[in-house]
Structure 1
Amino acid sequence: MTSSESVSILPPNMAEQPKEITVIGAGVIGLTTAIKLQEKAGYQVTIVAEIWPTDHLSPRYTSPWAGGHHCTAIMSHDPRDLQMETETFRVLWEMSAPGHPAEKCFMRAPQYGYYFEEFSNPRNVETTPDFKFLPKSALIPGAVAGISFTVVSFDPILYLNYLHKRFLAAGGKMVHGSVQHIKQVIEGGSTVFEGKPPTPPAAIIVCSGLGARSLGGVEDTTVAPVRGQTVILHAPWVDFGATRRKFDEDVVSYMIPRRNGNLVVGGTMGADDWYPLPRPETKLAILERALALWPEIAPPEVRKQRSPTVEDLLPIVVYEGVGFRPGRKDGIRLEVEWIEANDAKAPVVFNYGHGGSGFERSWGSASIAVELMENALKKA
């Protein structure tokens, strides 16, 4: 071998080791952010969370209770919101394509949005597939405007399990743990929740959702639940989604079809409402509003004979859901702060406060969080 052909090989202990990163929270925001990092070179990511997607359903774990679609017809003109939702829609659209490993989590369906008050142009929805404004003749009673486009709907439980498996397949680690204070993780890393010697991480990303309100060292009292209650019907004959919006009400009527033939009917926007169980009177109100707007949700054999009633829907109820959207007064918190704990110091990136847009902005907010973390580490 000539000198020009010689190769210098560093001993294993001198090779650059991946940076240990800890993500707090295993909801859609935590999982997506962790995947973004784990699938990049140079990082070993561990998620610490009290509840994983494979665990029992709980009101304390919000993501499984989501309605489940990327619906871009929400009033917002914030450039950052548009950036996050545009990136996320692109990723979900790719995942919903035939042949993708996540395809069975998704369904592409026509979506109709009906507005009961005049509004300015609803963001950049013209860029969504098959977008058009509805003619007056196509509006439901009482609506003053409407739009239609193709939406990506999904089963949140299936999708969360897909994200979980994808993260583990990429080499990520999961640890069950209830973090009382951010300093526990700064000093000890994820291993302290396993009874092992401490391994301080290079950085931490807080994706704790509503938990940011009580997490020590964060204690963001501007975070509060926006309670959502839904009813899931088995109505495979409904192949489109629809939403009725009036912006000064704490209810929003919608229906979202899923690939398995179920139909999510909602819902409520109960600010600072902590009640964890479905309210029977709310269930009936949800079904009454939806049936009045979209009688198509009733079984076809009933509609052939007479006008359907709520009683006709009760036999096809699969289950009811209650979830606490992690609302935040000033919107999503995406920023970084250096925090010390007993001689250990690390950049802590905050990625929480998504309200009802967690799935819709997940991949976009993950990109911003990763960029914040990497910039902080470069300046260390």
Structure 2
Amino acid sequence: MKALILANGRATRLGPVSRAVLKALLPVANRPVIWYVLQSLREAGVDEIGITVGPDTRPVVDYVRALEGPPEDPGPRVEFLWEDRRSGTGGALRDHRAYLDGAPAVVVPADIIAGVDLAALVRHHRAHPAAVTVAVTPQDPARWDGDFLVADGPFASSYLFKPGPASPSCLGSTGAWVVDPRALSLVPARGFCDFSAQVLPRLPARDLPLGVFDAGTVYQRDVGVPRRFYDSNIEALTGSSSASRYLPPAGPGGAGDAARVAHGPVLIGPDVEVHRSARIHGPTVIGGGCVIGPHASVVSSVLLPGSVVPAHTLLSTSVFGTTDRLYAELLKRPSRDRRDRLVDTSADAVARDATAGGTS
């Protein structure tokens, strides 16, 4: 089965970061969100992946091309689907109807990390054909601002777009769908169309059933707002995220790491320099190419790749950095000498290495 990743969007709700960073390339545990999306599709056995891109999202193309595997393990074939302007999720499906080639496809956003079993979603759709099958997970309507479905067995009787606390259902959409081309008959012939707001609430319709796949209690995090972006990184380090299983094994790190990491876990990217007098308290993510100056303290924070923390700075529960070096760091190819280190030192290790010097 083919898949479509909706990646032609910007992080408009992330304050100053929004002007420089694409949602698909926001780093979670030092990997762009789209890396996790691609990994989940590959593990689901998807054969072909289409990625929507446009004039402002060229870095997505550069990043994905840099990920191309060796000839003996090339992975799914990737096709970039060009959009001259942003036409919304529904518009993207309409405009790339030819890519779907008359068959259902998995459709996922590029800015959500979710633990949905996509292979099981596809099997469910094949067993219970529908115009659209939506993967759902239990959510508390009083605390969650997403979409909900009212289920009737393997199908839904209604789709509720952001109903808020008034939702009569607790089945929240994960944003992962299987879309049959028949559903595109509900998409306007031209212009912008939000598939969730303008199309899914019109289902079920005559000969167009709306399917429901209960994914169970799974992790889901939209990284497009500051607090959720921060949370997604911390959750990856603390083991509560579906991204956690991709972390390197925890260990003492390189020379001097234990002295500088007062408490773990701390994920340290490649080419990071930490002054011997600096201290880091986990859970903290340090992006590749970061520099942490003398007597700086970093506590439960996320440092964007290439950031410089000045001497005597205290960072606590923060997202810190500038974006001028972010893409350059993300596009560097990983190698044996350029791997992340996950440092989670014990109290004994901290005491043993307390006199270590230099930088790492």
Q: TM-score range by the shorter chain?
A: under 0.3
Greater per-residue helix proportion: 1
TM-score (norm 2): 0.25
TM-score (norm 1): 0.24
Q: Which has the larger radius of gyration?
A: 1
Greater RCO between the two (CA within 8 Å, min separation 6)? 1
